[in-house]
């Protein structure tokens, strides 16, 4: 059954760092609130809520309780004279200390092609899977041995574009916040030399390299079976034939970009691997130059697994040119980037279909001089986008930067992509103007939302319990794999369960914690990855 919000006070169920601003959202007109210590059972603070206002996304009238003045470590709850009570939560500087590594460890649980041993996977262990070579769709005489990588989502498909977005978020998190990854998870590869985040990304990157067509240098779009397996199928029991879909420009552009980025990041840890990434990136770029006009990807006939169709490849080429220039310094990549920068497309989005933001970030964070006028134009555009998001966040009843119509499939990705962009804007501008707003997005994820649910499995007093995730459904373990981020509210109600049970709900309440509601409660690697980035700022 889906979980409804309890008792009218929504908080971050993990808690708040001692020196941060601390607020809760209370439904109704507000009034007096009290902060109760679990240790003594007594009130440590009494205050007045802010003015109540209608929140369009949740369909509720809400107000804020601010208890930032309390900085004493402890466990607390909020209550009002109307009988409203919050969940218990912690105040302390380690409130995210367990969640951050769990959100990263989730990628290990997404691994394909290897046994997940009990030593590392605990009760969520399972046997190796999907080890047979894949048929090249349309040329059944050819096979590609593309084992490994991460399952993309609640099913067992593997996709180059979404995988590149996830790796980019993690590598950016490491580049911006290396100290956040100082502790071992651990993983089977943990060696005390290279951080585990880089070990984990390498597992996906090596799979991507197997997806590069040996003949052309282009990159196959995806690797899946013809159709999805049953909802309770374990990975090792999904034994249908595997197919790689044809080469696409979007996959090849993403591949060129992420390999160039990886060549830079891994150079100080494994020179041979970094050189291999650089060579693979350059081969993919050559393919892009030889194929300037390519139709957008569509699923081939017979294949009905996730399409990840994308009609426009300008943003992927733009990202690839930026990363290749930043990594190699070669002027030909710079010239290509400058030409692409003149074209009309979104240069600030961070989604799997709109990769332009990664190209802009790479260019603005580059140590290379570049074109100062173009850099300034991109910088101004980034800061303008950030301020627009900030304005929405400041007005929203729950503090996030989504308009009502943006509660779409994977809305939690948008929530955290926006928070990520706010933090990047601060870095580019040399300010800390947006950090508090970015943290509001974390509060929302962990329970400060209209449903009072934590959208991360295993974390919070009332976390998601039934994600659309086949291993969690089929493994016989009561609790789902921990550290998985649910897609979140989706006003599109695009599955049978949602259509039957969620029609008429407010956008931010259009969510069901049931396996059947894949359009609201699925998990994916690229919903986890921006959370890792944002939380890295706060640990």
Q: Residue 15: which H helix or E strand, with range?
A: strand 15-16
Query: Is the separation of the CB atoms in 428 and 379 below 8 Å?
Result: yes
**How many other CB atoms are there within 10 angstroms of residue 126's CB atom?**
18
Catalytic residue among 468, 473, 475, 495: 468
Query: Is 516 an annotated catalytic residue?
Result: no
SS (HEC) of 52-68: CEEECCCCEEEEEEECC
> 521 and 498 in contact (C-beta within 8 Å)?
no
Compute CA distances 131 → 118, 198, 214, 237, whole Å: 20, 23, 19, 12
Closest CA to 535 of 75, 17, 147: 17
Whether 291 is catalytic is: no
CB 531 within 8 A of CB 485: yes
Alpha-carbon distance of 208 to 222, in angstroms, equals: 10
Strand-pair category, 134-136 with 139-144: antiparallel
Distances (CA, A) of 442 to 182, 295, 437, 535: 22, 38, 9, 8
Helix count and strand count (H, E) for the chain: 16, 14
Q: For residue 387, what are its two tokens?
A: 């301020």
The CA radius of gyration of the chain, in Å to the nearest whole number, is 23
The catalytic position among 27, 55, 473, 513 is: 513
Token pair belonging to 77: 């709850």
Angstrom distances, CA of residue 453 to CA of 9, 462, 465: 11, 6, 10
Nearest of 411, 361, 442, 350 to residue 164 by alpha carbon:
350
For the beta carbon of residue 369, count every other beta carbon within 10 angstroms: 9
Residue 207 · residue 131 · CB < 8 Å: no
Please tell me which residue in 27, 55, 310, 522 is annotated as part of the active site. 522
H helices within 136-248, ranges in order?
160-176, 196-210
Residue pair 123/482 in contact by the 8 Å Cβ criterion: no
Give catalytic status of residue 468 as yes or no: yes
| Secondary structure, 3-state, 357-399 | HHHHHHHHHCCCCCCHHHHHHHHHHHHHHHHHHHHHHHHCCCC
Quick one: tokens of 46?
């009494």
Surface-to-core class of residue 76, CB atoms within 10 Å of its CB (0-12 exposed, 13-18 middle, 19+ buried): buried
> Which sequence positions are flagged as catalytic?
468, 513, 522
């Amino acid at each position: 059954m889906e979980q409804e919000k309890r008792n009218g006070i929504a908080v971050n169920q993990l808690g708040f760092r001692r020196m941060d601003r601390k607020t809760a959202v209370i439904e109704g007109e507000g009034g007096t609130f009290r902060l109760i210590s679990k240790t003594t059972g007594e009130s440590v603070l009494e205050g007045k809520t802010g003015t109540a206002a209608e929140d369009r996304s949740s369909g509720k009238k809400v107000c804020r309780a601010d208890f930032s003045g309390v900085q004493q470590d402890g466990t607390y709850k909020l209550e009002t004279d109307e009988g409203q009570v919050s969940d218990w939560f912690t105040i302390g500087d380690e409130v995210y200390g367990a969640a951050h590594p769990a959100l990263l460890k989730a990628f290990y649980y997404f691994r394909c092609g290897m046994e997940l041993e009990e030593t590392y996977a605990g009760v969520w262990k399972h046997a190796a899977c999907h080890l047979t070579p894949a048929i090249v769709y349309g040329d059944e005489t050819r096979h590609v041995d593309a084992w490994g990588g991460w399952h993309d989502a609640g099913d067992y498909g593997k996709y180059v574009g979404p995988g590149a977005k996830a790796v980019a978020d993690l590598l950016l998190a490491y580049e911006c916040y290396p100290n956040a990854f100082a502790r071992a998870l651990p993983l089977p590869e943990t060696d005390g030399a290279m951080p585990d985040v880089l070990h984990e990304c390498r597992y996906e990157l090596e799979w991507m390299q197997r997806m590069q067509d040996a003949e052309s240098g282009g990159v196959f779009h995806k690797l899946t079976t013809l159709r999805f397996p049953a909802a309770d199928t374990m990975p090792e029991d999904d034994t249908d034939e595997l197919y790689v879909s044809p080469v696409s420009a979007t996959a090849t552009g993403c591949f060129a970009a992420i390999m160039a980025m990886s060549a830079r990041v891994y150079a100080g840890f494994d020179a041979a691997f970094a050189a291999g990434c650089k060579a693979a990136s350059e081969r993919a770029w050559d393919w892009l130059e030889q194929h300037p006009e390519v139709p957008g990807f569509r699923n081939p006939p017979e294949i009905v697994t996730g399409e990840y169709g994308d009609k426009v490849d300008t943003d992927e080429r733009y990202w690839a040119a930026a990363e290749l220039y930043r990594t190699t310094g070669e002027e030909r990549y710079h010239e290509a980037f400058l030409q692409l920068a003149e074209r009309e497309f979104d240069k600030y989005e961070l989604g799997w279909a709109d990769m332009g933001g990664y190209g802009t970030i790479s260019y603005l964070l580059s140590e290379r001089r570049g074109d100062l006028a173009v850099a300034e134009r991109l910088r101004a555009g980034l800061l303008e986008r950030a301020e627009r998001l900030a304005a929405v966040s400041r007005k929203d009843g729950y503090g996030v930067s989504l308009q009502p119509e943006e509660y779409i499939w994977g809305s939690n990705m948008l929530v955290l992509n926006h928070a990520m962009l706010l933090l990047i804007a601060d870095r580019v501008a040399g300010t800390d103007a947006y950090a508090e707003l970015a943290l509001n997005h974390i509060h929302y994820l962990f329970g400060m939302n209209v449903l009072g649910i934590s959208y991360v499995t295993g974390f919070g007093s009332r976390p998601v319990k039934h994600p659309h995730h086949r291993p969690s459904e089929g493994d016989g373990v009561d609790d789902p794999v921990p550290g998985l981020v649910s897609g979140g509210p989706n006003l599109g109600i695009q599955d049978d369960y949602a259509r039957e049970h969620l029609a008429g709900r407010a956008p931010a309440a259009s969510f069901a914690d049931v396996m059947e509601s894949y359009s609201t409660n699925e998990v994916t690697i690229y919903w986890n990855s921006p959370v890792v980035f944002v939380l890295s700022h706060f640990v």
